């Protein structure tokens, strides 16, 4: 609603002259429209204050782990392993006995190399039974020949005594098994069989000693025979 500035009459909107007095009506001043903020602008938010870090807590020490108890089956396996280890030690003991038996004294360094070279062939006859007399008669001054002759004599005596002893035992067992009761016949029959096995093993051992003696003699070695080499008859 507007009013005339000259007469004060009421005027309609957008009237340029007052209908009562004809005075010109000044246009009404328009209020400026409020400026709206652009839609794409985001209001700035206040950054919250940085909080102080929480204090570091000490880690408690880890308790020791208790030892694990083996299961019953594991104990059985362990006992089996110990048994195998014991058997391995027994096998090693047998091997050590065999090695000690075969690893006899080698006295080659105590003899003259020239004597050894000249009497190798004579020395090998020492292990062919009664032919041990050949090196004694053909080379009476040779220490190398006498050494092997002594080995041959000891081996020959051992073979003779062992064979006689085995024959006597077999003969006695055979008589008892033939004239005794039936149960004695069975027992002494088994014993006679065992004596036969012992006789076979004894013969193999003597044959091995003969081969070892011949090999040592031909190769120029003054090495003692197993078990019987330390016996001295011919000096």
One DSSP character per residue, 20-41 reads TT-PBPPPPPPPPPPPPPPTTP
User: Rounded CA gap, 16 and 26, in Å?
Assistant: 7
Q: Provide, for the chain, the percentages of residues in helix, strand and coil under a 3-state DSSP scheme, each rounded to the nearest 5.
A: 55, 5, 40
Per-residue pLDDT of the chain (235 residues; tens, 9 = 90+): 677 777 877 777 777 777 778 777 766 555 555 555 554 555 566 666 666 556 666 766 777 776 766 555 545 445 455 555 555 555 566 557 667 777 788 888 898 999 999 999 999 999 998 998 999 898 889 999 999 999 999 999 999 999 999 999 988 888 887 776 777 778 878 888 898 899 999 999 999 999 999 999 999 999 999 888 888 888 7
In the DSSP assignment, the letter for residue 140 is: T
The per-residue pLDDT for 175 is: 82
Collapsing DSSP states into helix, strand and coil, what is residue 223? strand
The per-residue pLDDT for 74 is: 45
The per-residue pLDDT for 27 is: 67
Q: Read off the pTM.
A: 0.55
- CA 100 remoteness from chain centre: 26
The per-residue pLDDT for 104 is: 82
């Amino acid at each position: 609603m507007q009013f005339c500035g000259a007469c004060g009459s009421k005027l309609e909107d957008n009237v340029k002259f007052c209908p009562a007095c004809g005075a010109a009506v000044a246009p009404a001043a328009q209020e400026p429209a409020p400026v709206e903020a652009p839609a794409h602008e985001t209001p700035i938010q206040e950054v919250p204050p940085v909080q102080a870090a929480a204090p570091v807590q000490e880690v408690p020490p880890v308790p020791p782990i208790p030892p694990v108890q083996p299961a019953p089956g594991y104990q059985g396996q362990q006992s089996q392993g110990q048994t195998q280890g014991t058997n391995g030690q027994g096998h090693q003991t047998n091997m050590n006995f065999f090695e000690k038996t075969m690893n006899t004294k080698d006295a080659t360094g105590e003899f003259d190399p020239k004597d050894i070279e000249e009497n190798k062939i004579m020395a090998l006859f020492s292990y062919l039974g009664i032919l041990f007399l050949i090196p004694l008669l053909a080379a009476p001054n040779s220490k190398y020949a006498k050494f092997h002759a002594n080995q041959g004599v000891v081996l020959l005596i051992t073979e003779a005594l062992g064979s006689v002893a085995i024959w006597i035992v077999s003969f006695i067992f055979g008589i008892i098994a033939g004239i005794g009761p039936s149960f004695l016949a069975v027992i002494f029959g088994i014993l006679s069989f065992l004596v036969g096995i012992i006789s076979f093993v004894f013969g193999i051992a003597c044959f091995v000693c003969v081969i070892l003696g011949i090999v040592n003699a031909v190769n120029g070695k003054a090495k003692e025979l197993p078990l019987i080499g330390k016996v001295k008859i011919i000096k």
